[in-house]
Amino acid sequence: MSPSHFANLIHAETVKLFSRTTARLGLVLLVVLGALPPLILFAVRLGAWWWTGSLDAEWMPGQSVREAFSMPAADSMVWALRARNFFVVKAFLVMLGAQIFAGEYQAHTLREDLLRPIPRWSVLGAKWLAMCTWIAVTAIFAWAVATALGLALFWDMGGDWQQPILGYFSAIMADAGFAALVLLISVLSRSVPFTIAGVLLFAIMDYALDWILWLAKLAPNLPVTYAKEVGRVAEVAYPWMPFSAFGVWRGYEAMTPWAWQGFVSLLVIGLGSLVLSWALFRRMDVP
Partner 1 sequence: MEATRRATGVEGTPAVSTGTEVALEVRGLSRRFGRIIAVQDLDLTVRTGDVYGFLGPNGAGKTTAIRCLLGLIRRDAGGVRIFGESELVRARHQVGAIVETPAFHTWLTGRDNLEQAAAMAHIPSSRQAAEIDRVLERVGLAERSRDKAGTYSMGMKQRLGIARAILSRPRLLVLDEPTNGLDPRGMREVRELIRSLALHDRITVFVSSHLLAEVQAICNRVGIIQKGRLRAEGTVKELLEEREDAAIVEVGGPDVDALRAALEGMDSIDLLGPGEHGRLRVRHGEFPIARLNKELHDVGVAVDALVPATRNLEDVFMEVTT
Question: Which residue, 60 or 285, is less far from partner 1 as judged by CB?
Answer: 285
Binding to partner 1 by residue 285, rule CB under 8 A? yes
Question: Which residue, 61 or 287, is less far from partner 1 as judged by CB?
Answer: 287
Q: Give the Å distances, CA to CA, from 76 to 6, 31, 56, 144, 250.
A: 38, 12, 22, 10, 16
In this chain, which stretch among 4-12, 172-180, 244-252, 257-265 interacts with partner 1, using CB under 8 A? Answer: 4-12
Provide the residue type at 12 as one letter. Answer: A
Closest CA to 11 of 126, 138, 116, 98: 126
Binding to partner 1 by residue 133, rule CB under 8 A? no
Residue 272, SS3 per DSSP: helix
Out of 3, 53, 61, 115, which residue is the one contacting partner 1 (CB under 8 A)?
115
Partners of residue 64 on adjacent β-strands: 58
Provide the residue type at 243 as one letter. Answer: F
Binding to partner 1 by residue 283, rule CB under 8 A? yes
Q: What is the dihedral of CA 49, 55, 56, 61, to 10 degrees?
A: 50
In this chain, which stretch among 48-56, 90-98, 107-115, 183-191 interacts with partner 1, using CB under 8 A? Answer: 107-115
In this chain, which stretch among 18-26, 173-181, 186-194, 264-272 interacts with partner 1, using CB under 8 A? Answer: 18-26
Binding to partner 1 by residue 24, rule CB under 8 A? no
Binding to partner 1 by residue 190, rule CB under 8 A? no
Binding to partner 1 by residue 21, rule CB under 8 A? yes
Out of 11, 82, 190, 217, which residue is the one contacting partner 1 (CB under 8 A)?
11
With 0-12 / 13-18 / 19 or more C-beta atoms within 10 angstroms meaning exposed / middle / buried, residue 69 is buried
How distant is the alpha carbon of residue 235 from its chain centre? 25
Question: Which residue, 115 or 255, is less far from partner 1 as judged by CB?
Answer: 115
Binding to partner 1 by residue 19, rule CB under 8 A? yes
In this chain, which stretch among 109-117, 140-148, 211-219, 232-240 interacts with partner 1, using CB under 8 A? Answer: 109-117
Residue 244 half-sphere exposure toward CB, CA atoms < 13 A: 24
Distance, in Å, from the CA atom of 14 to the CA atom of 75, rounded to the nearest integer, reads: 31
Binding to partner 1 by residue 287, rule CB under 8 A? yes
Distance, in Å, from the CA atom of 197 to the CA atom of 105, rounded to the nearest integer, reads: 17
Binding residues for partner 1, rule: CB under 8 A, are 1-2, 4-5, 8-9, 11-12, 15-16, 19-21, 107-109, 111-119, 283, 285-287
